[in-house]
């Protein structure tokens, strides 16, 4: 067995990394302080991004999204509804944005098909009847739980030791390098340390808190957002407003529900949140401009999740923060050997984040195993609990 890599965080990023590293032959132990996916990944609203949402203002993230969109359709089709998406223009401002949007999609390699209002209404009759234009893109619905559970199921069957309800509460160091993690298992109350060769901080919006255990800071800004689920599928395609990414501009059909999203504000602590007032009404109102039927649909639930945005602590404009991801080698940045942090990104780009982190681990351990996760079809999510 090769080096022992500890992953901290059982979200989509940690799960994809466990899969990648076991395929490359590393010994992997993953710790998750709660249930798997109980952080941000299990709560997002399930858009497999085509990248179109970011094509104008965040093209790096857009290209990452479209590349991963294509990969995930091949390796995890069971977790996806391949329903495509429509960006709808409702007013003159949206129409003025349309040429930029089409150009951005073209530059990022995202197929964008212009549609007349009549053609869009024929596909989705619940759209606002006065829409001015629509563009069809390869968005899709993903199941926020099933997709990452494919990665966990495959990683475990390849030998990864996955330990939920176990929090990493400290590090042991020797000669400027991490040698072990200290953990608490909340099922038994037992404390234990695990020796390891390297630790990956994949703790999502909590990554800053984990880094602080080693006396380090990260360029990470928690960015919460509220979502609303209403009864019934008001549309079968993903619906977006044709404007720069903003609030209340996405509707995602999920099984027999429609998920309306979302809002965004900046927080300093992912566990202490105070949502601005009246977000539920605001989201329903904004999404109702695209599909009026959401205003009359019974609300099933309202919840929030916290984005792990890669940004300095003094960022002011949350929407302007890139959805790109980064992988930090703390030996280079902070002179602490044995710790890597992988931050930012989207659930759509979880596999790419894992590939980048695993490539860095290979480089640091002198291994030359190529990544195989682009082509390797994942096991069913169902196998994790068997
Ligand atoms: C409102 C909203 C909507 C979104 N919608 C979409 C969408 O439609 N499509 C999309 O692609 N992306 C979406 N995202 C973004 C996406 O959800 C996140 O980028 C992604 O889920 C982050 O995954 P992660 O694994 O990095 O973090 P997480 O899923 O948060 O995983 C980190 C895990 O680390 C654990 N942890 C933390 N500290 C410790 C510790 N000390 N010991 C052990 N475990 C620890 C946490 O419990 C957590 O489970 C959305 C985000 C939000 C907030």
Number of Cβ within 10 Å of residue 74's Cβ equals 12
- In this predicted structure, what is the pLDDT of residue 273? 82
Q: Closest Cα partner for 338 from 230, 216, 205?
A: 216
| Ligand 1 pocket check for 262: Cβ under 6 Å | yes
Taking the chain (386 residues) in runs of 10, the rounded mean pLDDT of each run is 93 98 98 98 97 97 98 97 98 98 98 98 98 98 97 98 98 97 98 98 98 97 96 98 96 97 92 88 97 98 95 82 96 97 97 98 96 97 91
The β-bridge relationship of strands 140-142 and 47-48 is antiparallel
pLDDT at 1: 62
| Number of Cβ within a 10 Å radius of residue 377 | 11
Residue ranges and CATH numbers for the domains of the chain are: 1-44+144-218+315-386 (3.50.50.60), 85-141+220-310 (3.30.9.10)
Return the pLDDT at 2. Answer: 83
> What is residue 315's predicted lDDT score, i.e. its pLDDT?
77
Q: Which numbered atom of ligand 1 lies nearest the CA of 14?
A: 25
> Which element (helix H / strand E) includes 356?
helix 350-365
Q: Is 8 in the pocket of ligand 1 (CB under 6 A)?
A: yes
User: Is residue 47 lining ligand 1, measured as CB closer than 6 Å?
Assistant: yes
| CA–CA gap between residue 195 and residue 182 (Å, rounded) | 9
Concatenate the DSSP letters of all residues of 43-66 into one string: GS--EE--SGGGTTT-HHHHHHHH
| Residue 164 beta carbon below 6 angstroms from any ligand 1 atom | no
169 by Cβ neighbours in 10 Å (0-12 / 13-18 / 19+) ranks as: middle
**pLDDT computed for residue 316 by the predictor:** 77
Ligand 1, atom 5, residue with closest C-alpha: 44
Supply angle C-alpha 8, 14, 20, rounded to 5.
125
State if residue 170 touches ligand 1 by the CB under 6 angstroms criterion: no
3 state DSSP class of 169: strand
């Amino acid at each position: 067995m090769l080096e022992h890599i500890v992953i901290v965080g059982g979200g989509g990023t940690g799960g994809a990394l466990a899969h990648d590293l076991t395929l490359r032959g590393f010994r992997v132990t993953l710790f998750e302080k709660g249930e798997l996916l109980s952080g941000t990944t299990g709560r997002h609203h399930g858009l497999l991004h085509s990248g179109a949402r970011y094509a104008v203002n965040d093209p790096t993230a857009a290209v990452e999204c479209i590349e991963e969109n294509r990969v995930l359709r091949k390796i995890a089709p069971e977790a996806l509804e391949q329903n495509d998406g429509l960006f709808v223009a409702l007013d003159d401002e949206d129409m003025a944005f349309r040429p930029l949007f089409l150009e951005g999609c073209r530059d990022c390699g995202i197929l964008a098909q212009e549609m007349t209002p009549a053609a869009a209404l024929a596909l989705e009759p619940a759209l606002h009847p006065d829409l001015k234009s629509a563009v069809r893109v390869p968005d899709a619905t993903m199941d926020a739980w099933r997709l990452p559970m494919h990665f966990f199921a495959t990683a475990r069957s390849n030998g990864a030791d996955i330990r939920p309800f176990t929090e990493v509460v400290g590090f042991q160091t020797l000669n400027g390098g991490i040698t072990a993690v200290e953990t608490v298992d909340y099922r038994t109350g037992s404390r234990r340390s695990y020796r390891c060769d390297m630790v990956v901080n994949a703790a999502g919006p909590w990554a800053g808190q984990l880094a602080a255990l080693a006396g380090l800071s990260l360029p990470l800004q928690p960015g919460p957002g509220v979502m609303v689920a209403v009864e019934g599928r008001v549309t079968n395609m993903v619906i977006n407003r044709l404007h720069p990414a903003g609030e209340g501009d996405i509707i995602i059909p999920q099984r027999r529900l429609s998920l309306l999203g979302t809002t965004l504000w900046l927080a300093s602590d992912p566990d202490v949140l105070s949502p601005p007032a009246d977000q539920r009404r605001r989201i329903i109102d904004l999404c109702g401009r695209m599909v009026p039927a959401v205003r009359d649909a019974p609300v099933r639930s309202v919840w929030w999740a916290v984005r792990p945005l890669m940004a300095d602590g003094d960022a002011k404009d949350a929407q302007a923060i890139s959805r790109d991801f980064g992988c930090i080698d703390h030996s280079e940045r902070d002179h602490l050997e044995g710790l890597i942090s992988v931050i930012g990104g989207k659930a759509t780009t979880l596999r790419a984040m894992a590939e980048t982190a695993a490539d860095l681990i290979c480089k640091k351990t002198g291994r030359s195993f190529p990544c195989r996760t682009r082509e390797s079809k994942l096991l069913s999510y169902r196998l994790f609990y068997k």
